[in-house]
Amino acid sequence: MNFRFSEKEEAFRQEVRDWLAHEVPPRWHEIDASLWEETDESWIISREFQRKLAKRGWLAPAYPTEYGGANMGHIKRLILAEELAYHFAPVGIETEMAVNWVGMALLHFGDEKQKRDLVPKIAQGETVFCIGYSEPNTGSDLASLQTSAVEKGDEYVINGQKIWCSFAHYADYCWLAARTDNQVPKHQGISIFIVDMKTPGITVRPLINILDRHSFNEVYFDDVHIPKENLVGIKNQGWYQVAMALDYERSNIQTAAGSRKLLDILIDFVKTTERNGKFLSEDPIIRNELAAMATEIEVARMICYRIAWMYSKGLHSNYESSMGMLFASESLRRLADLGLRILGPYGLLDQDSKWAVARGRIMRTCLTALSIGVGGGTNEIQRNIIAMRGLGLPRK
Amino acid sequence: MDLGLTEEQEMLKKAAHDFLSKECPKKLVRELDAGDQGYSPELWKKMANLGWMGLAYPEKYGGNGGSFLDLAILVDEMGYNIVPGPFFSTVVLSGLTILEAGNEEQKKEFLGKIAGGNLIMTLALTELDGTYTAASIKTAATVKDGKYMLNGTKLFVADANVADYILVVARTNAHVKPEKGLTIFLVDTRSPGIKTTVLKTLARDKLCEVVFENVIVPKANIVGQLDRGWPIIEITLKKAAVAKCAEMVGGAQASLDMAVSYSKERIQFGRPIGSFQAIQHYCANMVTDVDGSRFITYKAAWTVSENLPCDMEASMAKAFVSDAFKRVAGLAHQIFGAIGFTMDHDMHLYFRRAKSGELAYGDVDYHRNIIATQLGL
């Protein structure tokens, strides 16, 4: 065992930090738009930032260099992801979706043309995808999806409704899961398509999230004709392709790293804030709770490190990714809750208030955290995976 | 970064697992728990022959030259199987203290005997207020005829009933700050004036009251330097906390394994209870606690092995694992239902140890306070 990063890895971490210190525009920190708080302005800043990241091969570091990646090893990617998240860099869920879900799946299952046309653009931060998985009646039971794609001549015709499509209003393409056979068990009749969002018959309607922002949408498909070659991989094998793509190394270190940053903000606050003639940092209850939180975040970090380490050894994770998401998301919720209690009534103030502390970030995290542990598989689904895949508990 | 064990460590782990499941069955654990001695001299000898006592001591003192991390791996397996007896008191509390602070002669004699399985030792630290603080230590060592004379009462001294020697932390200077006037003495338990009483405890381990009444100790039996004992004890306490975490990780893993296999076998409503989400989610919570505990513990053990400052790591491990093992054992009990509430079932053996481990070498609050200080609070 060795819990130390190599000198080269540490140097890389420093390189990332130095680069971030120069390249994240100051305006980004002023608007402080974290996950689910995107605005048109923040969107433009983050697109621009991601193109800069891409120039260093850091937007899609795992991709082979011929596709615009850096062919970067797992541990360095872990470090990169950790630093980007800790420093609240303008890299949002859209990157995760385009780079890690779509691009990775294309590299595995796409044909040569799809790979050549799309993967480099994803790696350069030029192409935005929205994900068409969930439907109004299809959440955790994703395989029950009903949006249909019917073969007609050299086209597929798509009809149905998708929901929670983040950034569909900015997206160039939809990465769509649709039913191509309804005569077989539900997992065996799903296929994946790439749909140009400019195709006639597509309607995008905003859904305003709990932070009062427009980040996701409903997307309606009404007789949408797409060319046959936009099928990805093998017809009716979509479910397995999606599962494999989701399994592709995701250390999920972002949540733990972001939590550590929030903890550091709270530590600063209690060290500099006096109540009744004493610094909050001297209060035994506050000390105790912050220490508990720091410990949990460290545990979350180790659980996520394990995933990257396993892949670096050529092992595949099984239940470990689910455990990382589960533990880190629940920690974040507790942290946000604790943070609000520590800040007291100041914690309730939003960022445009002159009395706001840390730009209202803690209060907004209380809301954001509700989605961590739901999106990308609820914590209940993660627990099912841990129990059945990890511990071998029976389905029936 | 490498989060895996080396080939040698995997071998050690497997050998320990196989040996203990054969040589230390739960029947023996129950006998030892119920008995007065609390250990099996036969098993002790066999463990010594396997090189376990001296695993983490340098070869020149009769050890195997392993690391603290190796020791943690072994103790993890001992916690998995449950091995009653004075291994922890002798090897961790006493041996590592002598290795840290003893002179060459002491190291040669005592570590050699420990490694050979020929000496049982323990550490007498806590007193009437039950805390791990320098100020709580009132037992006095006064000079008399060129020797020291000990007077006082130590409480919760593990395995003193079978110890050949006790490391006694006593006050040698009452006129300075509490942590500046403490000295560690090697005390032969055959010395006149020592009275040991085994206390009846939750975990049925052998915690003792040890009363010292005019016990004479030669000056040569000081470990480390006069009045400088406390910093040594602080180091020992950190190592003890991490080693205890390793033991608890093993116990938590065993609790999980037992509960999972029971969930697969126990049929209710016509199906294994492990197919119900309520049980599945309990098990998912348990394995998350077990895995998290293992990583935070092994990180601390590695930090100790590397001689790096380990205050933060040791305290994070103890603060987390103390709660986690309790949660795991509690959920395991819930899964076992009524059968777990019997003496015949093994689960209570683990539950008892989860509770006693929680309080050993600093409880959750004690360690969180250290973490807070390390965070700059």
Tell whether B109 and B146 lie within a shared domain: no
The continuous run of DSSP H or E covering B21 comes out as: helix B7-23
Cβ separation of B287 and A284 shorter than 8 Å? no
| Domain span including residue B133 | 123-227
Tell whether A148 and A254 lie within a shared domain: no
Tell whether A69 and A183 lie within a shared domain: no
Nearest Cα to A301, choosing from A96, A84, A88, A78? A78
Contact B354, B326 (CB under 8 A): yes
Chain A within 8 Å of B320 (Cβ-Cβ)? Answer: yes
CATH number of the domain to which B52 belongs: 1.10.540.10
Nearest Cα to B287, choosing from A378, A297, A251, A382? A382
Q: Longest C-alpha distance within chain A, in Å?
A: 79
Per-residue pLDDT, A93: 87
* Chain A residue closest in CA terms to B365: A288
Per-residue pLDDT, B11: 97
Tell whether A258 and A383 lie within a shared domain: yes
- Look at residue B2 and tell me if it is in a domain: no
Tell whether A290 and A347 lie within a shared domain: yes
Nearest Cα to A265, choosing from A298, A288, A290? A290
The DSSP result for A111-146, as a single string, is: -HHHHHHHHHHHHTT---EEEE--BTTBSS-GGG--
Chain A within 8 Å of B304 (Cβ-Cβ)? Answer: no
Cβ separation of B1 and A75 shorter than 8 Å? yes
Query: Cα B368 to the chain's mean position, in Å?
Result: 20
Tell whether B254 and B368 lie within a shared domain: yes
The DSSP result for A10-69, as a single string, is: HHHHHHHHHHHHHHS-HHHHHHT--TT---HHHHHHHHHHHHHHHHTT-SSTTS-GGGT-
Contact B108, B61 (CB under 8 A): yes
Burial category of A30 from C-beta neighbours within 10 Å (exposed 0-12, middle 13-18, buried 19 and up):
exposed
In the listed set B119, B138, B173, which residue is the last one of a domain according to the structure?
B119
Per-residue pLDDT, A245: 73
- Look at residue A122 and tell me if it is in a domain: no
Q: How many CB atoms lie under 10 A from the CB of residue A125? A: 25
Q: Is pLDDT above 90 for A243?
A: no
B222 bridge partner residues: B185
Per-residue pLDDT, A242: 84
CA distance B315 to B238: 8
Rounded to 5 degrees, φ, ψ at A375 are -65, 145
Q: What is the arithmetic mean of pLDDT over A39-46?
A: 94
CA distance A186 to A282: 58
Copy the structure tokens of residue A173.
């393409």
Copy the structure tokens of residue A180.
């191509």
Min Cα distance B377 → chain A (Å) is 5
Q: What sign does the CA torsion over A262, A265, A269, A270 have? A: positive
Tell whether B192 and B270 lie within a shared domain: no
Tell whether A257 and A236 lie within a shared domain: no
Q: What is the arithmetic mean of pLDDT over A312-316?
A: 90
- Look at residue A84 and tell me if it is in a domain: yes
> Using CB atoms, which residue from A271, A309, A380 is nearest to B377?
A271
B185 bridge partner residues: B168, B222
Tell whether B235 and B370 lie within a shared domain: yes
In the listed set B207, B227, B247, which residue is the last one of a domain according to the structure?
B227
- Look at residue B306 and tell me if it is in a domain: yes
Cβ separation of B377 and A9 shorter than 8 Å? no
Copy the structure tokens of residue A304.
């996520």
Q: What sign does the CA torsion over A100, A101, A105, A107 have? A: negative
Contact B194, B211 (CB under 8 A): yes
Q: What is the arithmetic mean of pLDDT over B241-270?
A: 98
Tell whether A173 and A262 lie within a shared domain: no
CA distances from A98 to A125, A131, A146 (A): 9, 9, 23
In the listed set A179, A210, A244, which residue is the last one of a domain according to the structure?
A244
Tell whether B52 and B92 lie within a shared domain: yes
Query: Cα A95 to the chain's mean position, in Å?
Result: 7
Rounded to 5 degrees, φ, ψ at B147 are -125, 175
pTM for the whole structure: 0.95
Tell whether A299 and A372 lie within a shared domain: yes
Q: Is pLDDT above 80 for A156?
A: yes
Query: Cα B46 to the chain's mean position, in Å?
Result: 20
CA distance A77 to A97: 16
- Look at residue A347 and tell me if it is in a domain: yes
DSSP label at residue B179: G
CATH number of the domain to which A2 belongs: 1.10.540.10
Copy the structure tokens of residue A329.
């998301």
pLDDT tens string B127-174? 999 999 999 999 999 999 999 999 999 999 999 999 999 999 999 999
Tell whether B196 and B81 lie within a shared domain: no
Count of structural domains within chain A = 3
- Look at residue B216 and tell me if it is in a domain: yes
- Look at residue B156 and tell me if it is in a domain: yes
- Look at residue A10 and tell me if it is in a domain: yes
In the listed set A200, A215, A244, which residue is the last one of a domain according to the structure?
A244
Q: Is pLDDT above 90 for A248?
A: no
Q: Is pLDDT above 70 for A249?
A: no
Chain B within 8 Å of A75 (Cβ-Cβ)? Answer: yes
Chain A within 8 Å of B365 (Cβ-Cβ)? Answer: yes
CA distance B267 to B280: 14
As a dihedral over the C-alpha atoms of residue B89, residue B92, residue B94, residue B100, rounded to 10 degrees, the angle is -170
- Chain B residues in contact with A319 (beta carbon < 8 A): 287
As a dihedral over the C-alpha atoms of residue A140, residue A141, residue A142, residue A145, rounded to 10 degrees, the angle is -130
- Look at residue B303 and tell me if it is in a domain: yes
B300-303: Cβ within 8 A, 24+ apart: B300/B242, B300/B245, B301/B68, B301/B69, B301/B71, B301/B72, B301/B242, B301/B243, B301/B246, B302/A1, B302/A2, B302/A3, B302/B69, B303/A3
Question: Which of A268, A287, A391, A396 should be substituted to probe chain B, the one whose Cβ sees the most B Cβ atoms within 10 Å?
Answer: A391
CA distance A268 to A297: 17
DSSP label at residue B57: S
In the stretch 243-262 of chain B, residues with CB closer than 8 A to chain A read 260
Three-state DSSP at B183 gives strand
Min Cα distance A288 → chain B (Å) is 5
Give me the half-sphere count of Cα atoms (radius 13 Å) on the Cβ side of residue B15. 14
Q: How many CB atoms lie under 10 A from the CB of residue B309? A: 10
Q: DSSP strand E in A180-269: where?
A: 190-196, 202-208, 214-227, 231-232
Per-residue pLDDT, A316: 84
CA distance A350 to A348: 7
CATH number of the domain to which A343 belongs: 1.20.140.10
- Look at residue A97 and tell me if it is in a domain: no
Tell whether A155 and A218 lie within a shared domain: yes
- Look at residue A224 and tell me if it is in a domain: yes
Tell whether B259 and B351 lie within a shared domain: yes
pLDDT tens string A53-74? 999 999 999 999 999 999 999 9
Give me the half-sphere count of Cα atoms (radius 13 Å) on the Cβ side of residue A1. 27
- Look at residue A196 and tell me if it is in a domain: yes
Amino acid at B104: E
CATH number of the domain to which B166 belongs: 2.40.110.10
CATH number of the domain to which A182 belongs: 2.40.110.10
| Domain span including residue A180 | 129-244
CA distance A122 to A116: 11
Contact A363, B242 (CB under 8 A): no
Q: Is pLDDT above 70 for A351?
A: yes
Copy the structure tokens of residue B68.
């603290």
Per-residue pLDDT, A247: 67
In the stretch 206-265 of chain A, residues with CB closer than 8 A to chain B read none
- Look at residue B320 and tell me if it is in a domain: yes
DSSP label at residue B5: P
Count of structural domains within chain B = 3
Burial category of A58 from C-beta neighbours within 10 Å (exposed 0-12, middle 13-18, buried 19 and up):
buried
pLDDT tens string A160-215? 999 999 999 999 999 999 999 999 999 999 999 999 999 999 999 999 999 999 99
Which positions ≥6 away from A15 have C-beta within 8 Å? none
Tell whether A236 and A259 lie within a shared domain: no
Tell whether A261 and A313 lie within a shared domain: yes
In the listed set A194, A216, A244, which residue is the last one of a domain according to the structure?
A244
- Look at residue A264 and tell me if it is in a domain: yes
- Chain A residues in contact with B298 (beta carbon < 8 A): 1
Nearest Cα to A76, choosing from A276, A249, A277? A249
Give me the half-sphere count of Cα atoms (radius 13 Å) on the Cβ side of residue B117. 15
Tell whether A211 and A267 lie within a shared domain: no
Chain B within 8 Å of A327 (Cβ-Cβ)? Answer: yes
Contact A265, A362 (CB under 8 A): yes
Burial category of B190 from C-beta neighbours within 10 Å (exposed 0-12, middle 13-18, buried 19 and up):
exposed
Tell whether A63 and A157 lie within a shared domain: no
Cβ separation of A303 and B369 shorter than 8 Å? no
Q: Is pLDDT above 90 for A154?
A: yes
Amino acid at A21: A
Burial category of B313 from C-beta neighbours within 10 Å (exposed 0-12, middle 13-18, buried 19 and up):
buried
Tell whether B363 and B237 lie within a shared domain: yes
Tell whether B328 and B368 lie within a shared domain: yes
In the listed set B211, B227, B243, which residue is the last one of a domain according to the structure?
B227
Residue B203: band (very low, low, confident or very high) from pLDDT cuts 50, 70, 90: very high
Copy the structure tokens of residue A306.
């394990």
Tell whether B204 and B315 lie within a shared domain: no
